[in-house]
Amino acid sequence: DIQLTQSPSTLSASVGDRVTITCRASQSVNTWLAWYQQKPGKAPKLLIYKASSLESGVPSRFSGSGSGTEFTLTISSLQPDDLATYHCQQYNSYPTFGGGTKVEIK
Amino acid sequence: QLRLQESGPGLVKPSETLSLTCTVSGGSISSTDHFWGWIRQPPGRGLEWIGSIYYSGSTYSNPSLKSRVTLSVDTSRNQFSLKLSSFTAADTAVYYCARRRRYYYGSGSYLGYFDYWGQGALGTVSS
């Protein structure tokens, strides 16, 4: 199976900061990668698919990039509502998820 | 707006079978552009895909769980179901049902990401 490694596992940033989360795959997944936001006690919500395509209704401060084995999720200006854990998922083969990155607000 | 709702007994005796059903509303489970799936999340841990099913009954399962997983679909009720046998404490998790997009690339179709999720149902071992 394809392993996904996210870094950092936790990050703390201030409102208005630019935040970047990395997801590395153990082998190439082309651009078949999605990002999800999971707020405490809630189900994951799709943010990005195909590495860089923004899901309808998702704020434009979220963006994704990358291909092959290295991907990033960027929040251009962190908002209080962005307090959550973020997960990457590949679908180049049977789905696997990264371990998650918890974003805290300073 | 599409909604998915998990239901079923959350307490399972050790070695018995977890049975969950997902009811889909606001859309048809017979969509040709979607599969339907189950994902679980142990407390404080990451997400694990369990399996996916098409309205025709075609299924795909995680190789690590395949021998214990049974997936089924009832198009007349707009529902799909999961059975996980030989349940142990290691299977304690929140179980989510989700819709999985099917995408087209080149001359083929493939299974993609999960665009709608249920709220989740806790499955845990009863002592």
Instruction: Report residue A69 as tokens.
Output: 């084995």
3-state secondary structure of A70: strand
Distance of alpha carbon A38 from the chain centroid: 10
Residue A30 predicted with pLDDT over 80: yes
The 10s digit of each residue's pLDDT in B55-113 is 999 999 999 999 999 999 999 999 999 999 999 999 999 999 999 999 888 888 888 99
Mutate to test the interface with A, among B47, B65, B97, B104 (most CBs of A within 10 A): B47
Q: Which residues of chain B make contact with A43, given a CB cutoff of 8 A?
A: 96, 117-120
pLDDT cut 90: percent of chain B above it: 90
User: Can you give the C-alpha Rg of chain A in angstroms?
Assistant: 13
Mean pLDDT of A21-34: 97
When CB atoms are compared, the residue of B110, B115, B119 closest to A46 is B115
Q: How far from each other are the two terminal CA atoms of chain B, in whole angstroms? A: 39
Interchain CB distance below 8 Å, A44 and B110: no
3-state secondary structure of B23: strand
β-strand A53-54 against B59-61: which pairing, if any?
unpaired
Count contacts between A and B (CB, < 8 Å). 50
pLDDT of residue A59: 98
